[in-house]
Structure 1
Amino acid sequence: MTFKPARLLLALVAIASAPAFAQNLAVVNGKAIPSSRADAVVKQAVAQGQGADTPQLREAVKKDLIAREVLAQEAVKLGLDKSADVKQALENTRQSIVVQALARDYIAKHPVADADIKAEYDKFIKTQGDKEYHVRHILTENEADAKAAIAKIKGGAKFEEVAKTASKDSGSAANGGDLDWATPASLPPEFGAAVTALQKGAVTETPVKTQAGYHVIKVDDVRAAKLPTLDEVKPQIQQALAERKLQAFQEELVKKAKIQ
């Protein structure tokens, strides 16, 4: 697999601060490029699925590292590293690196507990509910039109046919107002509450107002909700809780800082 230069550049930036060791990959105009830098790039490339650790990949990395060093030396020779824009960019990069290091250090010392992950998962399951509803709706711009649609259905018209002509929701009207299966938590609050109050096959007696307009709702079917297991969502929950910890840590540091 070809190692793409753009991705290689990102990898190089990510390991730019790696420590130098005695063994060198090459020496460019008297300046050494440590082998450890190439090892880090290769490791990151393999982790990102850009290929296996092969002689071809290592040769590509070596060539790019050498070319990068040559270009960097030329830029310094021209004094470009002294420009205000470059200095600011370097400072931004330095700051980014140390902030990321702080974040890793903080999470390593304050890991997300399995009990917290389980509690968050239980909260998620509770808000989702244990049922899914196959829902149809007719969306109108005003209450009068919604009431007129309800009257037609009560008069014997099929919900699906009324939806095709009366609904302003172009995405579902052609399919008889079909919104497919959904949990109440995934719907607007007023809509979700109306859905849970309906029995299978029932239609709302009065229009339901949301920010989108006025709805006439029908529940085609009800089934047990197919919710993800804890193992399936554990990585996402762990990441979200870690970010929450970091946010709280940041806010606490800002509070303590002397800001003028």
Structure 2
Amino acid sequence: MFLKRGVVVSLFAGLALMAGVAAHGAETDPVVASVNGKVVRLSDVENARNLLPTKLQGAPLREVYPVLMESLINSSLASEKAVKLGFDETPEYRLRMARISDQILERILLARHIEQHLSDDLIKQRYEQVAEKAAAQSEIHARHILVTSEDHAKALIGLLEDGDNFAQLAAEHSTGPSKTRGGDLGWFGPGQMVAEFENAAMALPTGEFTHEPVKTKFGWHVILVEERRPFVVPSYQDVREILANELSAELGQKYMEQLRSEAKIEKKSFEDVVKALQQ
């Protein structure tokens, strides 16, 4: 796909150089194993890596290569044996292959669509939009006291209004994990806290605490904003891959919505299926 092409090319080139192959005669997809005469190529290993969980897909090929190689060998041996036993002629096999075929074609279609529409200009345009919005935001350094009841929170606000120390009250009363730090949450920016908490904290002037308890799914909060600073906008290169992934997902979703809008689709609800089975 769009993001991995350069990585694959570099990988092939590096392996060729390691093997001492002259550049003009380098093989781009070398045979890496043979199982009863059936060859396994480097592209097979790379394709197998793309089927790993997302966290492992980004691992260096050197680390996952042995596991992938053994898996491909096992699959080849099992497949060969299954064919000899005639399993490839069973209704079960045909049914599963039809479903797998649909999934593979879906992935190829979406990959081609994304490759055609995901450009550097589009990614840069998204970056500029996000960066402009982020530049107008700020990060805050805050503390909070989390309790289970509104009355408790109001009582603590009364103590703060009388001059009690916020950090000390947090250490004594808060039920949150930050109580050991006097309620200190460190620095955070937009989108890092639940909406109710973020809205209340961002609206507070520096040095002020909330005079009304703030309710979230975690309980009742009293919030103090200690410092405020401009939000640091990350560089384009630092977030390019993240933005490209987001745009890829959006392009794929919109394309599927387009296909659905152009199709004639009839479907039954689960309740309708139950009724049909009961008839």
TM-score, reference length from structure 2: 0.68
Q: 1: distance between equivalents of 2:194 and 2:181?
A: 21
Alignment of 1:143-158 (within 5 A): 143-158=150-165
State the partner residue of 2:22.
none
State the partner residue of 2:118.
111
Matched, 1:98 2:98: no
State the partner residue of 2:18.
none
Q: 1: distance between equivalents of 2:79 and 2:171?
A: 65
Matched, 1:130 2:130: no
Q: 2: distance between equivalents of 1:27 and 1:182?
A: 55
Q: 2: distance between equivalents of 1:254 and 1:117?
A: 26
State the partner residue of 1:4.
none
Q: What is the DSSP-based 3-state SS (H/G/I as helix, E as strand, rest coil) of the residue aligned with 2:191?
A: helix
Q: What is the DSSP-based 3-state SS (H/G/I as helix, E as strand, rest coil) of the residue aligned with 1:132?
A: strand
Change (3 A) 1:122 1:211: farther
Q: What is the DSSP-based 3-state SS (H/G/I as helix, E as strand, rest coil) of the residue aligned with 1:216?
A: strand
Change (3 A) 1:51 1:191: closer
- Cα deviation digits, residues 101-138 of structure 1 (max 9, x gap): 11122123223452x32343344341584321111011
Q: 1: distance between equivalents of 2:210 and 2:138?
A: 19
Aligned 8 A contact 1:131 1:224 in 2: yes
State the partner residue of 1:211.
217
Matched, 1:49 2:49: no
Letter of the 1:141 partner, please give it. Answer: T
- Cα deviation digits, residues 63-93 of structure 1 (max 9, x gap): 9867654532321221222233332332232
Alignment of 1:31-110 (within 5 A): 33=38, 37-41=40-44, 49-51=60-62, 68-110=75-117
Q: CA deviation at 1:167?
A: 1.8
Larger mean CA deviation between 78-87 and 175-184 belongs to 78-87
Q: What is the DSSP-based 3-state SS (H/G/I as helix, E as strand, rest coil) of the residue aligned with 1:185?
A: coil
Letter of the 1:83 partner, please give it. Answer: T
Matched, 1:161 2:173: no
Q: CA deviation at 1:158?
A: 0.9
**Structure 2 unmatched runs, 5+:** 1-30, 50-57, 267-279
Q: CA deviation at 1:40?
A: 1.9
Q: CA deviation at 1:49?
A: 2.3
Matched positions, count: 224
Aligned 8 A contact 2:147 2:153 in 1: yes
Letter of the 1:150 partner, please give it. Answer: I
State the partner residue of 1:12.
none
Q: CA deviation at 1:237?
A: 0.7
Q: 2: distance between equivalents of 1:111 and 1:137?
A: 43
Q: 1: distance between equivalents of 2:71 and 2:164?
A: 71
Aligned 8 A contact 2:201 2:225 in 1: yes
Q: CA deviation at 1:225?
A: 2.2
Aligned 8 A contact 1:183 1:225 in 2: yes
Aligned 8 A contact 2:134 2:231 in 1: no
Alignment equivalent of 1:243, drawn from 245, 249, 254: 249
Q: CA deviation at 1:217?
A: 0.8
Q: What is the DSSP-based 3-state SS (H/G/I as helix, E as strand, rest coil) of the residue aligned with 2:156?
A: helix
Matched, 1:189 2:192: no
State the partner residue of 1:19.
none
**Structure 1 unmatched runs, 5+:** 1-22
Change (3 A) 1:140 1:122: farther
Q: CA deviation at 1:43?
A: 5.5
Q: What is the DSSP-based 3-state SS (H/G/I as helix, E as strand, rest coil) of the residue aligned with 1:91?
A: helix
Alignment of 1:195-234 (within 5 A): 195-234=201-240
Larger mean CA deviation between 216-225 and 240-249 belongs to 216-225
